[in-house]
Chain A
Amino acid sequence: MSKIVQGRGRGHDGPAALNRRDLLKLGAAGAALAALPAAAPEARAQAVKTGAHIVIAGAGAAGLSVASRLADRLDGAKITIIDARKAHYYQPGFTLVAAGLKPQDYVTSTTAEYMPQGIEWVEERVAEFDPEGNSVTTESGRSIPYDFLVVTTGMVLDYAAIEGMETDRIGQDGLGSVYHSPQAAAATWQAMSRFADEGGRGLFLRPATEMKCAGAPLKYTFITDDTLRKRGNRGKAELIYAAHNKTLFSVPIVDEKVRMLYLDRGVNTIHDRVMTGIDLGRKVGIFSTPDGGTEEIGYDFVNVIPPMRAPDPVRYSPLAWQTGVWARDGWMEVDKATLRHARYDNVFGVGDIAGVPKGKTAASVKWQVPVAVDHLVATIAGTTSDSAYDGYTSCPLITQLGRAMLVEFDYQNNLKPSFPGVIAPLEELWITWVMKTMALKPTYLSMLRGRA
């Protein structure tokens, strides 16, 4: 099934009821202006005329952003986007839902709302990539040839890799998992809130694979700590963070800062522990240890974060890394500066699927998309582009309810502060919290529409 989308949907064009969201403009407009990361001024060059067929595999944050920009930059191209999912999730908001601060519908909208005009949307999943034959095959067996392919499939959460895990029990018996879905984020809040009343042991962790927003597991530990404190129950609880290696964060200066904050908040960190299983009845997490053994850690509340991998159609295709650290989980072998595939010149990989050293975040998407699009359009125009992605990503790392650290860095582990001298990168600030709660979602939505 496919359809040509006739117009941009606007999810918020309804009557302007004066609710909390709307009211933010009254006092906050000036503040958010000061605090907003923004894209480069777009050089609105004349659209490039072409008859090329471009296929975009995946209509998440990266796919929609690429589609919007290509629709602006090309004249006459046939652009096909392939994705079966009708719902769109604003994933950076999951943490706020799981903190009990935002309702579930804060993070849910529809793919159709952001689909640019004139794009063909095939509402199926890609089952197979054939970069040698320049075509993709959908689940229904339909073969779609292309001149250029942009892979934006995102990743899969491999809950099956955690023995004993049952996602339909999230929210019960102290089991939380923020990443799973908006529903699970809300259910995790219910479980965490009960824990914050009753106390006991809170268990936090991260997988040993690449993951989206590596700050999220840390944030949720801080949020749980602060929720306990606000209810006067911190003394009744023990918090354990099980790190998958010897660090808390891959950027050394951030790692050290988080280490100090965990010390300050009384979060006990254990290292080199990777969750391999969970006993939901006994409320015990099972972790691998460096000596090859396993260790059981009991919990009253746990935030399970599963391994993350490339979806099978990419993982088992020629597009994946064939050797090296990203081969095991099937991330796409792209040039880390241009996002162009290392072996197929007419293929790009953008967003979570890209096998690059840093960042699987919406901020990464925001900075990757213009670069990949520049190179694709230049190829079509018969020119070259010197656009390069330096690995920039950002994470407003919540350290308590009402404060966050604005952590921005690149491939080289350099801090890349957007507001040097104004917003200190490793300081716990309210202004960063204001950005997280007010400015990030509108920026994200603008990005989907190709305007930020």
Chain B
Amino acid sequence: MKDLDFATLLSVFQEMMGPLLWLLVLLAVAGIAAFLFVLVREGGLKGGRLVRSELIGVAGGFMALVIMAWVTVSGFTDAGGPVDWLLIGIIWGIGVVGTTILAYAVMGLVAMMRGSKRIA
């Protein structure tokens, strides 16, 4: 095995996903930016909203696993060793974190818009 190379990985992911790769990157960047924006504007995390986002995030984690099973035409009963469970954990984790951040940002933006309407 030779060393991993970023240009190679990028090329492989482009072949894998086509334009969707950039849509996903955009979604991730926009989601994080919106989350940070909400965080700064509100001066901290809102506990209630965070809990709601995390609950949605857990569902997002399972959704990531379902999508993965679908695209690989396989299921998690196929896990055969520790690295498989690690992979399943990583996929679930990405789904949880991604969905939580997005959900928190969206709820925060919606709350801000409602607030500004009330003021107006």
Decide whether A and B are members of one complex: yes
- Interface size (B, Cβ < 8 Å)? 46
A446 to B79, CA, bound (A): 29
> Quick check: A403 and B16 within 8 Å, CB to CB?
no
Per-residue 0/1 for B8-40: is the Cβ within 8 Å of any A Cβ (1 yes, 0 no)?
110111111111110110000000000000000
**Residue in contact with A27 in the complex, picked from B8, B65, B76, B79, CB distance below 8 Å:** B65
A-B contact count (CB 8 A): 164
Q: Does any Cβ of B come within 8 Å of A433's Cβ?
A: yes
Cβ contacts B74-114/A at 8 Å (1 or 0 each): 11111111011001001100110000000000000000000
Residue A38 at the chain B interface, CB threshold 8 Å: yes
B58: Cβ under 8 A from any A Cβ: no
Once the chains bind, are A39 and B24 in contact (CB under 8 Å)?
no
Instruction: Find chain B residues with CB under 8 A from A430 CB.
Output: 74, 76, 78-80, 84, 87
Determine whether the beta carbon of B13 is less than 8 Å from that of A29.
yes
Residue of A nearest to B28 (CB): A29
Please name all residues of chain A whose beta carbon is closer than 8 Å to the beta carbon of B63 when the two chains form the complex: 27
- Known contacts A16-B18, A25-B21, A25-B24; decide if A31 and B3 are in contact (CB<8 Å): no
CB-defined contacts of B5 to chain A, threshold 8 Å: 38-42
Distance A349 CA – B73 CA, assembled complex (angstroms): 37
Residue contact A31 to B12, C-beta cutoff 8 Å: no
Chain A residues in 8 Å Cβ range of B90: 30-31, 34
Q: Is B68 interfacial (CB 8 A cutoff)?
A: yes
A88 to chain B, nearest CB (A): 14
Residue numbers in A under 8 Å from B7 (CB-CB): 41-42, 451
Query: Counting CB contacts under 8 A, is B120 at the interface?
Result: no
Are A439 and B83 in touch, CB under 8 angstroms?
no
What is the chain B residue whose CB lies nearest that of A452?
A: B8
Q: Is A380 an interface residue (CB 8 A)?
A: no
What 1/0 mask marks residues of chain A from 417 to 451 whose CB sits below 8 Å from any chain B CB?
Answer: 11100111001111101100111011101100101
A16 contacts B8, C-beta separation under 8 Å: no
- Given the known interface contacts A36-B9, A37-B1, A42-B5, the answer about A24 and B16 at a Cβ–Cβ threshold of 8 Å is yes
Q: Is B91 a contact of A437 with CB atoms below 8 Å? A: no
For B116, the chain A residues whose CB sits under 8 A away are none
Residues of B within 8 A of A36 (CB): 4, 9, 12
A27 touching B9, Cβ below 8 Å: no
Partner pick for B8 among A402, A437, A446, CB 8 A cutoff:
A446
| Chain B residues with CB below 8 A from A35, complex form | 87
Residue of B1, B12, B21, B70 contacting most chain A CB atoms (<10 Å)? B12
CA–CA, A128 and B95, complex, Å: 57
A38 touches B12 (CB 8 A): yes
Residue A282 at the chain B interface, CB threshold 8 Å: no
- Nearest CB of A to B40, in Å: 28
* Residue with the highest number of chain B CB atoms closer than 10 Å, among A27, A32, A400, A446: A27
Q: Are B73 and A101 in contact (CB under 8 A)?
A: yes
| Bound form: Cα–Cα A400–B90 in Å | 23
Give the CA-CA distance A416 to B1 in the complex, in Å. 7
Q: Are B16 and A442 in contact (CB under 8 A)?
A: yes
Rounded to whole angstroms, the CA-CA distance of A422 and B114 in the bound complex is 50
Binding site for B on A (CB under 8 A): 12-13, 16, 20-42, 101, 400-403, 408, 416-419, 422-424, 427-431, 433-434, 437-439, 441-443, 445-446, 449, 451-452
- A–B Cβ pairs within 8 angstroms, 30 of them: A13-B19, A24-B17, A24-B72, A27-B63, A27-B65, A27-B68, A27-B71, A27-B95, A29-B94, A30-B94, A32-B16, A38-B2, A38-B4, A40-B3, A41-B8, A42-B5, A101-B73, A402-B74, A423-B83, A427-B80, A429-B83, A430-B76, A431-B83, A431-B87, A433-B72, A434-B68, A434-B87, A446-B15, A449-B11, A452-B8
- Closest CB pairs A-B (n = 10): A402-B78, A442-B15, A27-B64, A418-B1, A402-B74, A24-B71, A451-B11, A442-B16, A40-B2, A27-B68
